[in-house]
């Protein structure tokens, strides 16, 4: 079994790493020069949860039953459940490694809280609620890491106005993460080391408008103008430190779960549904409110939506929801009508949007769990979905849940390097579903029949 180091950079954007900032990234550039690299088409939806588990299992979000961080509980109007490690019921890469007699170090791969047994060791991810709780497997690893390196920092608050505080927090967090990773690389046995660094995602969301001239809130000449570029260069240095700890036989895979691009604004899905007559309130709102706080007349409501990077739209179906009004034999007609109207939405200046609206069963061979009735990417994800109501306008210049400069792009990236072979630095685009078979084939492990074929360059 050959060893593999997978370095996950959450939200890494190919247009920045491969092009705009490449001259400041010597370590990554060298891997690209001798390896293979390209765009990595993410899953639908292209968000952290489910994307990392799609990558680690080869399964679709529908097969995993994960459509985001939160989900409806049954067909409730208000009750939800949050994705966690317990939500994953299928084999992950480290399970295949364990079956073949190898061991793995799994570091912060979402969702990995609560920590769970693996053949090796595990540190849980950014959804860890508190470092006072257990966040490692085995449990004693927590004390060992804290004694050797310091307290774990799972995440930082990044949707706030205090940018200096965010920047300080992200660097402190990332430094601690890489110190822990270096300790694990050198002190624990492993055949597969799979890590995810969330800091880049936080930097994109908090600082994108300071460097992107096309951003509608672009602020040139501030102290934050080079923050994004500087952090990419910092990560390149940290990756260089990891590479020095490896032998000359270890495969390396740099990968991101999705990409990033400027956010144009947020579209108030529930306000639009109210304007169109699909959502009914018993009394008008006198302030900005979440849908759960509004007095919705469910006996007259046809559909409602959730906010996020994409909109999840639910239809109030008779016999399915407690106060459903749409007869089952009219469900598809209503869904098609909604899809047509959603795709026809134009921007605040009447500009045409490239909105995509999917039925989950069109995307996935199986839809487990609690999928929405429609999945909506406003203007190809440039516009977030705002679930709150009561704004003066259905088009918001910023996110309705706190300051945010960036949205997710469907295309992340990968760089693959095999120290035994010079692959010539050629560019080859892949999908997120090819990552798991690529890792298994590179490690000389059997690729299960229900996974996709690994890319040709691995053979």
The CATH number given to whatever domain includes residue 56 is: 3.40.720.10
CA atoms of 108 and 114, how far apart (whole Å)? 11
* Residues 350, 439 within the same domain: no
Measured CA to CA, the distance from residue 248 to residue 105 in angstroms comes to 19
Asked whether residue 80 falls in the same domain as residue 199, the answer is yes
Q: Tell me the per-residue pLDDT of 227-282, one tens digit each, with 9 for 90 and over.
A: 999 999 999 999 999 999 999 899 999 999 999 999 999 999 999 999 999 999 99
Q: Which helix (H) or strand (E) holds 62?
A: helix 61-64
Q: What pLDDT score was predicted for residue 402?
A: 86
Among residues 106, 99, 142, 100, the alpha carbon closest in space to that of 121 is found at 106
- Whether this model's pTM surpasses 0.95: yes
pLDDT tens readout for residues 202-224: 999 999 999 999 999 998 999 99
d(CA 307, CA 292): 12
Half-sphere exposure of 16 (CA within 13 A, CB side): 26
Total number of domains constituting the chain = 2
* 18/148 same-domain check: yes
pLDDT at 401 over 90: no
Burial of 223 (0-12, 13-18, 19+ CB in 10 A): exposed
pLDDT band at 447 (very low <50, low <70, confident <90, very high): very high
Provide DSSP, 394-415. SEESS-TTS---EEEESEEEEE
The dihedrals phi and psi of 6, each to the nearest 5 degrees, come to -105, 120
Q: Note whether 248 and 346 are same-domain residues.
A: no
Query: Are 387 and 343 found together in one domain?
Result: yes
Range of the domain at 374: 265-403
DSSP run (H or E) holding 5: strand 4-9
Asked if 356 and 414 sit in the same domain, the reply is no
């Amino acid at each position: 079994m050959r060893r593999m180091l997978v370095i996950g950079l959450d939200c890494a954007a190919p247009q920045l790493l491969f092009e705009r900032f490449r001259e400041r990234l010597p370590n990554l550039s060298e891997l690209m020069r001798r390896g293979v690299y390209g765009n990595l088409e993410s899953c639908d939806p292209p968000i952290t949860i489910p994307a990392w588990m799609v990558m680690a299992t080869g399964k679709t979000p529908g097969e995993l039953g994960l459509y985001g961080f939160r989900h409806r509980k049954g067909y409730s109007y208000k009750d939800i459940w949050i994705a966690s490690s317990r939500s994953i019921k299928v084999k992950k890469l480290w399970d295949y490694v364990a079956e073949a007699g190898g061991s793995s170090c799994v570091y912060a791969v979402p969702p990995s809280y609560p920590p769970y047994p693996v053949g090796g060791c595990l540190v849980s991810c950014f959804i860890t609620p508190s470092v006072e709780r257990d966040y490692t497997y085995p449990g004693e690893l927590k004390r060992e890491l804290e004694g050797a390196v310091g307290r774990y920092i799972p995440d930082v608050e990044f949707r706030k106005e205090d940018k200096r505080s965010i920047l300080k927090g992200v660097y402190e967090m990332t430094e601690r993460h890489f110190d822990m990773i270096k300790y694990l690389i050198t002190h624990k046995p492993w055949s597969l080391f799979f890590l995810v660094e969330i800091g880049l995602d936080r930097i994109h969301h908090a600082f994108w408008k300071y460097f992107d001239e096309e951003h509608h809130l672009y602020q040139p000449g501030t102290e934050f103008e080079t923050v994004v570029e500087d952090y990419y260069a910092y990560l390149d240095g940290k990756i260089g430190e990891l590479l020095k700890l490896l032998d000359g036989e270890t495969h390396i895979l740099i990968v991101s779960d999705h990409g990033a691009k400027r956010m144009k604004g947020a579209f108030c899905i529930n306000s639009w549904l109210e304007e169109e007559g699909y959502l009914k309130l018993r009394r008008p709102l006198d302030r900005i409110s979440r849908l759960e706080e509004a007095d919705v007349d469910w006996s007259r409501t046809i559909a409602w939506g959730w906010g996020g990077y994409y909109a999840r739209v639910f239809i109030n179906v008779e016999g399915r929801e407690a106060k459903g009004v749409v007869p089952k034999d009219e469900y598809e007609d209503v869904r098609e009508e909604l899809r047509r109207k959603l795709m026809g939405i134009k921007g605040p200046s009447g500009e045409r949007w490239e909105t995509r609206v999917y039925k989950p069963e069109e995307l996935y061979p199986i839809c487990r769990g609690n999928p929405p009735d429609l999945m909506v990417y406003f203007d190809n994800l440039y516009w977030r979905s705002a679930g709150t109501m009561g704004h003066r306008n259905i088009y918001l210049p910023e996110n309705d849940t706190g300051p945010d400069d960036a949205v997710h792009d469907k295309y992340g990236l990968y760089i693959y390097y095999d120290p035994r072979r010079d692959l010539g630095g050629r560019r080859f685009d892949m999908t997120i579903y090819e990552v798991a078979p690529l890792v298994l084939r590179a490690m000389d492990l059997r690729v299960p029949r229900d996974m996709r074929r690994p890319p040709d360059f691995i053979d």
